[in-house]
Amino acid sequence: MDTILTIIKDYGWLSYLILFAYCALKSGSLPLFAGIAAQLGALNIFVVATLVFLGGYLGDELRFYIGRKYGVQNLSSRPWYQRSVSAAKRLLAHYGKAYIFLYRYPKGMRTIGALPVALTNMTWTTFTLLNFTSALLWTFAMVGGGYMFGSAIERLVGEHWGVFSVCLLLVFIFVSYIALKQVNKKVAKATDELI
**Do 144 and 46 contact (CB within 8 A), yes or no?**
no
More confident call, 156 vs 15:
15
* Cα–Cα distance measured from residue 132 to residue 59, given in angstroms and rounded to the nearest whole number: 11
In this structure, how many other beta carbons lie within 10 angstroms of the beta carbon of residue 152? 9
Can you give the pLDDT at residue 117? 84
- How many CB atoms are located within 10 Å of the residue 117 CB? 23
The domain ranges of the chain are 2-194
Tens of pLDDT along 15-53?
A: 999 999 999 998 788 899 999 999 999 999 999 999 999
Q: Is the pTM of this model over 0.85?
A: no
pLDDT confidence of residue 179: 74
Q: CA–CA distance from 139 to each of 48, 116, 121, 124 (Å)?
A: 9, 23, 27, 22
**Contact call for residues 143 and 49 (beta carbons, < 8 A):** yes
> Is 195's pLDDT higher than 60?
no
pLDDT tens, residue by residue, 114-148:
877 888 888 999 999 999 999 999 999 999 999 99
d(CA 13, CA 49) in angstroms, rounded, equals 15
Tens of pLDDT along 76-122?
Answer: 566 665 665 566 566 677 776 788 887 777 666 677 778 778 888 88
- DSSP, res 27: -
Task: Fill in the DSSP letter of residue 122.
Answer: -
